[in-house]
């Protein structure tokens, strides 16, 4: 796959709440199968596959801005930036349930004590207030830690262990989890609940 096909497309549920990002190729497949439609972020117009092709596809011999188009055998299809799923009731943007994977995403794969990158398969969860001392397994008490730091800290609070957290753990919103580690686009802003998308350079 070329680089453009690996770029991300913001995916909205049927009621236009952001629920995920998918790679361009997957987005086009969903639209092709009638499972999603492309949304024009400028005017919120929606396109099914045939409409998207007739509006946004160009023949191979046409002169186009290369980086915005996906090439197939016979034509080039414009890269969608936002799609909306045809059938999906959807979640609100609050109350994301706690998960280990979510902690990894929220903490950007970084040990929250030493700052080192931790591979997913080596991740450990540190309970800031240890379980043995009443600490719960939840967003506000759990952080990503490397093995070494987790071991060093043991059954102590950060203060007792003389260790400092990079930042206080927090309850992430769905937007934050969706956008973790993704190259975001300015055009996504109208669809997100928080305006934290940086302009891509
Ligand atoms: Zn560490």
- Are residue 132 and residue 87 in the same domain, yes or no? no
Owning domain of residue 153: 100-161
- Are residue 88 and residue 106 in the same domain, yes or no? no
For residue 58, how far is its CA from the centre of ligand 1 (angstroms)?
Answer: 51
Is 43 inside any structural domain?
Answer: yes
- Please give the pLDDT value at position 194: 62
For residue 124, how far is its CA from the centre of ligand 1 (angstroms)?
Answer: 10
Mean pLDDT of 61-77: 65
For residue 147, how far is its CA from the centre of ligand 1 (angstroms)?
Answer: 7
Separation CA 28–CA 64 (nearest Å)? 19
Is 198 inside any structural domain?
Answer: no
- Please give the pLDDT value at position 191: 85
- Paired tokens of 197: 């998308």
For residue 65, how far is its CA from the centre of ligand 1 (angstroms)?
Answer: 44
pLDDT at 111 over 70: yes
- 171 compared with 156, residue with greater pLDDT: 156
Separation CA 133–CA 78 (nearest Å)? 56
> What total number of domains does the chain contain?
2
- Please give the pLDDT value at position 122: 92
Which residues lie at CB < 5 A from ion ligand 1? 111, 113-114, 146, 149
- Are residue 11 and residue 84 in the same domain, yes or no? yes
Closest CA to 174 of 96, 82, 89, 98: 96
- Are residue 86 and residue 38 in the same domain, yes or no? yes
Place of tokens 């891509």: 200
For residue 171, how far is its CA from the centre of ligand 1 (angstroms)?
Answer: 21
For residue 144, how far is its CA from the centre of ligand 1 (angstroms)?
Answer: 9
Query: Confidence class of residue 153 from pLDDT cuts 50, 70 and 90?
Result: very high
- Please give the pLDDT value at position 34: 92
- Are residue 38 and residue 112 in the same domain, yes or no? no
- Are residue 86 and residue 179 in the same domain, yes or no? yes
For residue 134, how far is its CA from the centre of ligand 1 (angstroms)?
Answer: 23
- Please give the pLDDT value at position 53: 86
- Please give the pLDDT value at position 144: 97
Contact 45, 39 (CB under 8 A): yes
- Are residue 10 and residue 86 in the same domain, yes or no? yes
Mean pLDDT of 164-192: 84
- Are residue 37 and residue 88 in the same domain, yes or no? yes
Query: Confidence class of residue 137 from pLDDT cuts 50, 70 and 90?
Result: very high
Burial of 80 (0-12, 13-18, 19+ CB in 10 A): buried
Residue 111: CATH number of its domain: 1.10.30.50
Q: pTM for the whole thing?
A: 0.63
Is 108 inside any structural domain?
Answer: yes
């Amino acid at each position: 796959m070329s680089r453009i096909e690996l770029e991300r497309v913001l995916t909205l549920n049927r009621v236009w709440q952001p629920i995920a990002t998918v790679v361009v190729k997957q987005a086009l497949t969903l639209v092709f199968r009638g499972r999603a439609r492309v949304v024009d972020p400028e005017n919120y117009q929606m396109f099914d596959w045939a409409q998207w092709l007739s509006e946004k596809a160009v023949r191979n011999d046409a002169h186009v801005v290369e980086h915005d188009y996906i090439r197939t055998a016979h034509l080039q299809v414009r890269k969608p930036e936002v799609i909306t799923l045809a059938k999906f009731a959807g979640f609100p943007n609050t109350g994301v349930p706690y998960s280990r994977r979510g902690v990894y995403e929220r903490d950007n794969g970084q040990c929250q004590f030493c700052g080192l990158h931790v591979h997913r398969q080596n991740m450990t969860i540190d309970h800031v207030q240890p379980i043995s001392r009443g600490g719960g397994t939840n967003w506000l008490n759990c952080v990503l830690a490397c093995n070494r730091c987790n071991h060093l800290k043991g059954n102590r609070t950060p203060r007792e262990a003389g260790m400092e957290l990079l930042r206080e753990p927090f309850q992430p919103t769905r937007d934050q989890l969706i956008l973790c580690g993704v190259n975001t686009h300015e055009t996504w802003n109208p669809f997100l609940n928080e305006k934290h998308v940086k302009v891509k350079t």
